[in-house]
Amino acid sequence: MFHTASDKDIKGARVTDIYFTRAVEVLRAKGIDKRVKAEFVVKHFPNHYSWGVLAGIEEVVELLRGLPVTVTAMKEGSIFYANEPVITIEGKYLSFAEFETPILGFLCHASGIATKAARCRIAAGDKQLIHFGARRAHPAIAPMIDRSAYIAGFDGVATVIGAERLGIQPSGTMPHAMILLFGDTVEATKAFNEVINPAVRRVALIDTFNDEKFEAIRVAEALGRDLYAVRLDTPSSRRGNFLSILKEVRWELDLRGFTNVKILVSGGLDEAAIRELNEVVDAYGVGTAISAAPVLDFAMDIVEIEGRPVSKRGKPSGAKQVYLHPRSAKRIVLPAGGKPPRGGFVPLLKPIIENGAVVQKLPSPQQIREFVLKQLRTLPLEIT
């Protein structure tokens, strides 16, 4: 058996911290079940990030649909900042108390991955980004990781199931193992070209046996116009100056007329490495930086009980609304239910569930991705 929770386990409140289960038992025994409003907020971002990309909303909706609660939320894919509520849940506390753990899990993990992916997207500019990180995480969550990377701006994903869920074709090259079994890079690449559907781009892995420059020339001469790209996945232990190696490969290909052949790199990449290599690289396969991205530390806080503002120490009480001015990008957090600020500000938290019924059509991954990319065009990338 795999050590994973099923959908039934999650919806049955089995993936919850025991203190919530015990709290529910105590409150029920004492006849206490008050109407509350609870907010989900990030107080601090990891690694000095200044913003995050909201992901996991679709799974939160799937968990809460049918429960006697009303939910407002920012759109999935929204850029958000510290101390801005991204979701508000209103209802009797006992109706959703035991779901705090999985809701936070959905938000923290997916948003952390999406935020890292968005940072890579900004660094890469218009260069292609493919998610290669499934092997660095539990396979049960590979579709979630692929989706979070894709909606935050990645162009493709490597896993079969991730691509199927997204409605796209999986992206990939060829493994070192296949080349080792053939015993020669060119022979392996020629075999790939003979066997695999012509619609699949031919990307030759050129760092298995010999100097990358000479392998690039050999496969380019062997495949000609059929070769889409060469891939370097050189281990860090023998990289030397990786940028210099890449420039050398590019030079030798161009000198022989293979200007159409692109360069794809993978192995230990993050936004800082991408920015450094961007002058010569056409596409990136990014793995560990995405699948092991730092989570965003959301917390759920009750801010109203029976309509009265309350909070624990250090947290502002009362339900809130986040307003955005579309032209200036100015943002304001104000008490919910009050008059919106003048001058064209729009509320970002909008009803998504009303008394258990989903009242918004959830966007497709492609629609979320376009929404994210539109926002990213206005954001700086801070690398510390």
The C-alpha angle 382, 383, 384, rounded to 5 degrees, equals 115
Please report the pLDDT score of residue 211 as a whole number.
87
Beta strand residue intervals within 116-199, DSSP E: 128-131, 156-157
pLDDT in tens, 49-74: 999 999 999 999 999 999 999 999 99
Please report the pLDDT score of residue 383 as a whole number.
54
The crossing angle, in degrees rounded to 10, of helices 57-64 and 100-124 is 160
Residue 116 CB coordination number (10 Å): 28
- In CATH, what is the architecture of 124-291? Alpha-Beta Barrel (3.20)
The C-alpha angle 327, 332, 334, rounded to 5 degrees, equals 140
Reduced to 3 states, what is the DSSP secondary structure of residue 358? strand
Alpha-carbon gap, residue 350 to 214, rounded angstroms? 57
Please report the pLDDT score of residue 384 as a whole number.
44
> CB neighbours of 266 closer than 8 A, spacing ≥ 6?
132, 231, 232, 233, 284, 285, 286, 287
The crossing angle, in degrees rounded to 10, of helices 142-151 and 100-124 is 50
Q: Which of 59, 78, 161, 158 is nearest to 118 (CA)?
A: 78
DSSP one-letter string for 266-325: ESS--HHHHHHHTTT-SEEEE-HHHHTPPPP-EEEEEEEETTEE---TTS--S-EEEEE-
Delimit the CATH 3.20.20.70 region(s) of the chain: 124-291
Report the CATH superfamily, name and number, of domain 7-113+294-376: nicotinate phosphoribosyltransferase (3.20.140.10)
Q: Which residue numbers in the chain have pLDDT < 70? A: 234-240, 380-384
